[in-house]
Structure 1
Amino acid sequence: MSADPEQTWEPIALDDEPDPEDLAFEAELAKDPAEDDSEPDDTSESADPADNVPDPPAPINWDHLTPEQARAEWNALNEWVHGLRIRFALPPAVIPPFWHRHEEMLWQISALHTHYLGAYHPHQDGSAPMGWLADFETFKERMRELVAVSGTRIDRDRPTRQTVWPGEPPIDEASEIRIADREADFKAWVEADVARRTALEEEFLPHEGEGAEW
């Protein structure tokens, strides 16, 4: 079949505008992975759980705690002490039931607790627990001395006697009391401490709407 000499052929017109999807795909292929500034996906399975662990605890100064901070620290420390005395079979000569009534014991036990939390922190060196266990032995000897001086017993307690220096007024020595329910006594002691701290806040901090008086 011969071609029609009068028939004309027109070239197919190409689209001058490139497809945006093609351009985006080519740009993604040409992108340098080292220059990727996209935010990492925190929900991915490859995320390290240790990145979400809080920092090791700071030392606790019981003189600077607010009422609610003190309540939380008291309860956390009491729970930890129960576990400690059971795990290590500690006698009352090391940690007596009424340690909470003696400030000199409170600070020692609180320091040991903070030391423990730091030693067993996930970011801590693997040998840190050995340091805590060594200090734990020193702690037990120190507590034996404090308990012997304090006069506290398994079922009764009295305030630790204080030495009056020359020129100081005499101190009224409180008598020994018998305590039948240790946990009830602890809760009452904590509430009294919280009330004392609250009264100090109300005395020295300005009330809402009032300016501080200097």
Structure 2
Amino acid sequence: MAEQPTEALHEDQVVDAESPSDEPRATPEEAVAVPPRPFLWDELSADDLEHRWHDLDVWVDWLRRTYGLPASVIPPAWHRHPELVWELSALHLHWLGCYHPNNDPSAPLAWHRDFADAQQRLRDWTATSGTRLDRDQPTHQTSWPGEPLTHRGGERPIVDRRADFHTHVHADVTQRRNQH
């Protein structure tokens, strides 16, 4: 995943004005028509990566609004913290599976049970990462004996979450394209 910039991002700094998120995207309800399949973020092609980022962003926004989740559970800069991305994408995949039309009618109850557990993990990781409603910093990485000390990087304000998301995705997708 892309590295964090050290400065605040503003709306006029959006890298790609014609972002894929400007195109009509499936709503969470429409997305259940396709059976879910697990995937690894690190193995996606650049195009798949871009679509997965935007699909997850739509779903996370829907989730936080539908359930009234505070920034202590899903912070605005969740996309900059791999531990939050992996948890949210697993939760999204689980939601797609539980709400798939071919699934058992009681599957949504299982999702809600698992969602309650996931909320606690999200709270813990958000607290550990140091990201907040109005500011963000890289997640602390503990150096083990014999490893060089890791520098956490500075805190930066979150001025425009959407612009920051687009910039982050653009950097991640560009990096993936350059790897292949």
Would you say the 8 A contact 2:73–2:119 is kept in 1? yes
* Larger RCO, structure (CA 8 Å, separation 6 or more): 2
Q: Is the 8 A contact 1:60 1:110 kept in 2?
A: no
Matched, 1:113 2:103: no
Q: Quick check: which has more Rg, 1 or 2?
A: 1
Q: Deviations over 1:82-133 (max 9, x none)?
A: 1111110000010000000000100000000000000000100111101000
Match of 1:162 in 2: 141
Paired position in structure 1 for 2:104 = 125
CA positional deviation for 1:180:
0.6
Residue 55 of structure 1 and its aligned partner are, at CA, apart by 5.5
Q: Distance in 2 between matches of 1:74 and 1:125?
A: 28
Other-structure match for 1:64? 43
In 2, Cα distance between equivalents of 1:179 and 1:125:
41
How far apart are residue 151 of structure 1 and its match?
A: 0.5
1:145 to 106, 118, 124: 124
Counterpart residue number, 2:79: 100
Q: What displacement does 1:174 show?
A: 0.5
TM-score by length of 1: 0.68
Identity of aligned residues (%): 49
CA distances 1:167-194 after superposition (whole Å, capped 9, x unpaired): 1112122100112100000000000000
- Tell me the SS of whatever aligns to 1:175: coil
Amino acid at match of 1:137: A
Q: Which runs of 5+ in 1 are unaligned?
A: 1-52, 202-214
Counterpart Cα distance in 2 of 1:89 and 1:110? 19
Question: How high is the TM-score relative to the length of structure 2?
Answer: 0.80
Please list every run of at least 4 consecutive aligned residues from structure 1 whose deviation after the TM superposition is greater than 6 angstroms.
Answer: none
User: How many angstroms apart in 1 are the aligned matches of 2:39 and 2:53?
Assistant: 11
Task: Summarize the Cα distance change of 1:89–1:185 in structure 2 as closer, same or farther, 3 Å threshold.
Answer: same
1:193 counterpart = 2:172: yes
Aligned length: 149
Mapping for residues 193-212 of structure 1, pairs under 5 Å: 193-201=172-180
Contact 2:33 2:100 in 1 (8 A): no
